[in-house]
Amino acid sequence: MPRTTVGIIGAGPAGLLLSHLLHRQGIDNVVLELRDRTYVERRQRAGILEQDTVDVLRLSGAGARMDRQGLEHHGIELRFDRRSHRIDFPSLTGGRSVMVYAQTEVVKDLIALREEADGTILFEAEALSVDGIETDRPAVRYRHDGAEHTLDCDFVVACDGFHGIGRRSLPEDVLTVTERTYPFSWLGILADVAPSCDELIYAHHERGFALHSMRSPEVSRLYLQVDPDDSTDNWPDERIWDELEARFAVDGDWELKRGPITEKSITPMRSFVAEPLRHGRLFLAGDAAHIVPPTGAKGLNLAVADVTLLAQALTRHHTRGDESLLDAYSETALRRVWRAEHFSYTMTTLLHSSPDDNDFDRALRLSHLRYLANSAAASASLAENYVGFSDN
């Protein structure tokens, strides 16, 4: 495979959507993915799509199954002090909402579209290096089927996640990294039981945060705040359900439905931003460039925003020879990234208990939650950020 216009490292939603968007504009591209197809299609990640993400998928022809099977949500529920408060998105954001549709399904849809178009996705292709990024002939050296190959490109886009080679290919004197690690993690479960709620529940409790989400009308996705060094071995099913019930408890007759737990995992919480998102002919997108704690449901949506900008910029270059949008990509994308980082940080620190909390910290947190519940302006700010806000 001697040459392509855009070499894309990573077949997550960012890399696959970029490949699809470029194909629609007549720009040839190749996707290299370290894992096999089965792993990629089963990799559990986010499940909340912002309005802009939904719009991009629909406009690109990738939203048909999402519209049939996704669950449109018009709000979220905040729980604290055994009370429930609903944040109504459409009334606070001019009619915008979110869609519950798992990342696994977005990935399956995009792979199917690339197959229909005879697009090239090389699974089990390990990117070994990205070379020549300061020239007009960058190349990705990779291993596939036991042999090493070189993919020559006009541009390389790294969508290969936090641990990928893309970001590490930027010169050390160019790259700036800003990060924060939080003193807690999430124990996440999938359960074969109908959700106990119509919309997501974000619960603040003295014993820690809890989140009730869903993947479908038959499958629930739930999370518990746990210590960073905790293990799923410490959490038998009955203990998980008991703890969830305690943290979601409200005055009234609401009941948490229980069912078979099919998956358990513990996810660390961190914030991370790499700058710049471009050096020479190499661009970073998605988790290769930034990580947000999942409390704000922004990770997948930021990846989609990144590659939407890149697709527009590469199309402008391809059709007009104009590199202005490519030159502006890093600055433009980072404005949205930092807005999402702030929102995710705010939601995380607001809803979680910290080991270092004192009475003052706990009182401030409850005051903030009451303000969100009782102030139209505060509710509107939360809603605007949740459904997707950008000043680009």
**With contact defined as beta carbons under 8 Å apart, do 196 and 256 qualify?**
yes
For residue 115, give the amino acid letter: E
For residue 372, give the amino acid letter: L
Using DSSP, state whether 380 is helix, strand or coil: helix
Q: What are the CA-CA distances from residue 65 to residues 42, 45, 106, 328 (Å)?
A: 17, 18, 9, 34
What φ, ψ does residue 227 adopt, rounded to 5°?
-70, 150
What's the helix, strand, coil split of the chain in %, to 5? 40, 30, 35
Domain positions in the chain are 6-71+100-178+271-347, 182-269+355-387
Give the pLDDT of residue 2: 73
| Alpha helix ranges (H) inside 186-298 | 237-248
- Which CATH architecture is the domain 182-269+355-387 placed in? 2-Layer Sandwich (3.30)
Give the pLDDT of residue 100: 94
**How does DSSP classify residue 3?**
B
Q: Spelled out in words, what is the top-level CATH class assigned to the domain 6-71+100-178+271-347? A: alpha beta
* Cis amide linkage into residue 183, ω under 30° from 0: no
Q: How far apart are CA 244 and CA 148, in angstroms?
A: 49
**Closest listed residue to residue 213, CA positions, set 73, 350, 347, 348:** 73
Q: How far apart are CA 36 and CA 122, in angstroms?
A: 9
Tell me which residues are annotated as active site: 73, 202, 294, 298, 386
Per-residue pLDDT of the chain (392 residues; tens, 9 = 90+): 579 999 999 999 999 999 999 999 999 999 999 999 999 998 777 789 999 999 999 999 999 999 999 999 999 999 999 999 999 999 999 999 999 999 999 999 999 999 999 999 999 999 999 999 999 999 999 999 999 999 999 999 999 999 999 999 999 999 999 999 999 999 999 999 999 999 999 999 999 999 999 988 999 999 999 999 999 999 999 999 999 999 999 998 899 999 999 999 999 999 999 999 999 999 999 999 999 999 989 999 999 999 999 999 999 999 999 999 999 999 999 999 999 999 999 999 999 998 889 999 999 999 999 999 999 999 999 999 999 976 65
Q: How far apart are CA 354 and CA 351, in angstroms?
A: 10
**Closest listed residue to residue 294, CA positions, set 336, 340, 228:** 340
Query: What pTM does this model have?
Result: 0.95
